Structure 1
Amino acid sequence: MADKHRISFEPVDIDMEVGEDEKILDAAFRQGIHLMHGCREGQCSACKSYVLEGEIQMERYSTFACNDAEVEEGYVLLCRAHAFSDCTIELLNFDEEELLNSAPLQQVRTEVLEIVPHTHDIVGLKLKPVDPAAYEFKPGQYADLTIPGSDEHRSFSMATTPSTPDHIEFVIKKYPGGRFSALLENGIAVGDTIELTGPYGNFTLKSGHALPLVLMAGGAGMAPVLGLLRYLSETEDTRRIRFYYGARTSADLFYLDEIRVLGERLADFEFVVALSESTDGAERLGVHIEPGMVTDVVEAAEPELHRTEVYLCGPPPMVDAALALAARQGVPDDQVFYDKFTTSVTDDQ
């Protein structure tokens, strides 16, 4: 059995135990401590922290997330870090509301209820929790789904809310050569079993907040934003809410009817679609269409962006452009929340 060590987190005054064979972030999840995180693959820097005392070694990671100079100073990525002594770690990013108040990490055996093609490259997957028959999470979070017949997993955001405990819905983009998405075309069928581990992620609505909301998404980034929107509609939120969705053409749009219905239950809601390549055929869809990149559309439509909370989810180029926009508009960091979909590590140690 691997040796165990004590980790003390500052400035939050939280202690926990970690084995040398497990990553610090995983140990935190296991003990109900919800540290800030994103990709969990050493690429996004959301879990970057500073080692005040102790011996830590990291598995391979992207130097874009933590460069060599930072490592020399003592910075680490908790998702890649193993402790080999008792350690004191300073958390650089943390949410006091969620640290000890998030849904616990669960392992759930699920059954495939439905596989629906939304567009040529977006598929909807609906799962039923079987063992246990309940799954606790917050709207906007994601889960790991194990690839059937392997020990590998892929991470996907949930589009549902806890108000539908009989099913969990995912929106999955198909990539050429993608192992999981290929199985959705030929290999996974209704009735099959898929193992789920979750929830993960900090892309959640913050209780007690009153600022207007700007939601931005692209591609399969629709999933967590739709989860937030469903929850906002269920709770009849009275804030100003604007949802901007970026796609290439009208053929890449889906969930339009449901978004319209959800918006009707909200006091001040508008849905705007930005089409970057062509608006042909969009006029018959009955939604507000603007030509161009979604970030350009938001910049033109939201001159008071700094007075809102901004939620972003989608492919890295979209999220990077949206973060740059938020910075230009002076949006405080604690008013920006995002999920950036990542791929495998290409620049690693």
Structure 2
Amino acid sequence: MKPLFLIMAYLVAVTLPLILSAWVGGPPRPFHQELASGLGILAFSMVLMEFILSGRFKAISNGVGLDVTMRFHQMMARTALVFALLHPFLYQGTPSGGQRPWDPTRELTITTDFSALSTGIVAYLLLASLALLAIGRTQLDYKYETWRLLHGIGALLIAVLLWHHTVYAGRYGSQPVMTWVWLAMTGVAVGSLLTVYLLIPLLQKARPWRVASVTQLTPKQWEVTVKPDGHSGLDYKAGQFVWLNVGNSPFSMKENPFSICSAPAAGPEISFMIRELGDFTRTIGQIKTGTVAYLDGAYGNLSIDGRTEPGVALIAGGVGLAPLLGILRQMRLTGDSREVKLIYGNRVIDQVAYRDELGADDVIYVLSEPPETWQGETGVIDAALMDRVFSEREFSEWVFVMCGPRIMMDVVEDHLINRGTPSHRILSERFNYD
């Protein structure tokens, strides 16, 4: 019921200004003009709700999963952009100006007051730029921290500019009731941004961690373990992730999301399996023991806690092993009696991590570029491999948990659905971060 509740709450929040505007507005205008105002109102309310869909609020992302939250965030941002782009072109009246209220009959559609129009124009251009930069972030190849800072500042500017434009240039936004509604909604949006960038870092500063060890697992994969410094640690579930900041101020942008590969039952220390990919991860081997670290979490719903299926299928590609290793370790430490199988795919044998710990029982190793002496599975994790590993009963009764490259997860999910596995027994979270 939680996803349904969140969807309903979103729809209510987005449409509330539209409904109130229709209630307090003046005489109806031609349809195209009312449509223009309606699209502008919806675009603004959707932009404000984007602050809440940032993925940093556990009540949302832990309820439906971070990947679902972020995909919805992207979809709604693009929808708001389309509404905003259409909004000014649907007005067909001749601009008129004058001191507000400039029209006692409230029939005018637009004002020539440039200060009121200019904020809307700037927000219009900023919103399009922000969306395009987010869509092309990977192709532009600039630092995640830089993008995150620009994204946050840009979103804040857009919210403030749209509030001014809506209140001082809008037919409905100028109504006292709507002015306060927009002010309250903008305040909540800005407050959520301040929570992420100020309040959470303040709380982190009071609960520091220290790097306990840095261990090289493979030529480009490391295990980083941190321990609480003066506090009891973190309450988390096996399979979840945190935002990790090592060696920087809690107020810096230098934090990245990493899945926890340790088990809650193992104690307060927390471990991460990290592959060298981006600016921060390439420096993992240089981190010194004792370096201060900060954690924000735990996030995500990639957890089997409280589930009653008779078996657990873990399907990992590369560093996607991290959260699944945490689940497997928790099952072993707690004496979980459920059946379990792990499929672990890599390109070459040198990328296989934790092989001694994983062992050979109920673990299927897959290499796409195997050595001549390789005795395990070859190729990629696909439908044919799944059919060799799992029985009809397991497809229908087990819970399937996966993490890895997007292509692998798409193939596995499609095949599971084709084999009749219920969607509520397929758990996955996709990440597109450094």
After TM superposition, give the deviation of residue 116 of structure 1 in Å: 1.0
Q: Distance in 2 between matches of 1:202 and 1:34?
A: 5
- Structure 1 residues 330 and 336 mapped into 2: Cα distance closer, same or farther (>3 Å)? same
Does residue 1:125 correspond to 2:224, yes or no?
A: yes
- Structure 1 residues 159 and 299 mapped into 2: Cα distance closer, same or farther (>3 Å)? same
Match of 2:426 in 1: 336
Question: Which among 240, 243, 247 is matched to residue 339 of structure 2?
Answer: 240
Match of 2:363 in 1: 271
Q: Secondary structure at the match of 1:133?
A: coil
CA deviation map 1:121-146 (0-9, x unaligned): 21111111215331110000000012
Match of 1:294 in 2: 381
Question: Which among 396, 401, 414 is matched to residue 311 of structure 1?
Answer: 401
Match of 2:244 in 1: 145
Question: Which among 242, 250, 263 is matched to residue 161 of structure 1?
Answer: 263
Q: Distance in 2 between matches of 1:202 and 1:121?
A: 27
TM-score (norm 2): 0.56
Query: Are the aligned partners of 1:214 and 1:310 in contact in 2 as well (CA < 8 Å)?
Result: yes
The residue correspondences of 1:155-304 to structure 2 (distance < 5 A) are 155-175=257-277, 178-186=278-286, 188-260=287-359, 270-283=362-375, 289-295=376-382, 296-304=384-392
Q: Secondary structure at the match of 1:171?
A: strand
Q: Secondary structure at the match of 1:241?
A: strand
Does residue 1:38 correspond to 2:137, yes or no?
A: no
Which protein, 1 or 2, shows the higher relative CO under an 8 Å CA cutoff with sep ≥ 6? 1
For structure 1, the 5+ residue unaligned runs are 1-7, 64-78, 88-105, 264-268, 284-288, 345-349
Deviating 4+ runs (over 6 angstroms): 30-33, 46-50, 55-59, 79-84
For structure 2, the 5+ residue unaligned runs are 14-47, 78-82, 85-122, 137-151, 164-181, 186-202
- Structure 1 residues 151 and 12 mapped into 2: Cα distance closer, same or farther (>3 Å)? closer
Q: Secondary structure at the match of 2:429?
A: strand
- Structure 1 residues 303 and 115 mapped into 2: Cα distance closer, same or farther (>3 Å)? same
Q: Distance in 1 between matches of 2:213 and 2:68?
A: 28
Say which structure is richer in helix.
2
Query: Are the aligned partners of 2:53 and 2:69 in contact in 1 as well (CA < 8 Å)?
Result: no
Q: Distance in 1 between matches of 2:342 and 2:424?
A: 19
Q: Distance in 2 between matches of 1:209 and 1:81?
A: 42
CA deviation map 1:186-208 (0-9, x unaligned): 3x211111111110111001414
Say which structure is richer in strand.
1
- AA aligned opposite 1:148: G
Superposed CA RMSD in Å reads: 3.9
Q: Secondary structure at the match of 1:24?
A: coil
- AA aligned opposite 2:282: A
TM-score (norm 1): 0.68
Q: Distance in 2 between matches of 1:47 and 1:128?
A: 35
- AA aligned opposite 1:337: L
Match of 1:68 in 2: none
Q: Secondary structure at the match of 1:35?
A: helix
CA radius of gyration, larger in = 2
After TM superposition, give the deviation of residue 81 of structure 1 in Å: 9.5
Question: Which among 404, 414, 427 is matched to residue 324 of structure 1?
Answer: 414
After TM superposition, give the deviation of residue 240 of structure 1 in Å: 2.1
- Structure 1 residues 26 and 235 mapped into 2: Cα distance closer, same or farther (>3 Å)? same
Q: Between 334-343 and 296-305, report the one with greater CA deviation.
A: 296-305
Q: Secondary structure at the match of 2:303?
A: coil
After TM superposition, give the deviation of residue 316 of structure 1 in Å: 1.6
Identity of aligned residues (%): 23
- Structure 1 residues 124 and 141 mapped into 2: Cα distance closer, same or farther (>3 Å)? same
CA deviation map 1:48-100 (0-9, x unaligned): 789xxxx999874559xxxxxxxxxxxxxxx999998578xxxxxxxxxxxxx
- Structure 1 residues 163 and 340 mapped into 2: Cα distance closer, same or farther (>3 Å)? same
Q: Distance in 1 between matches of 2:262 and 2:363?
A: 19
Q: Distance in 2 between matches of 1:159 and 1:148?
A: 21
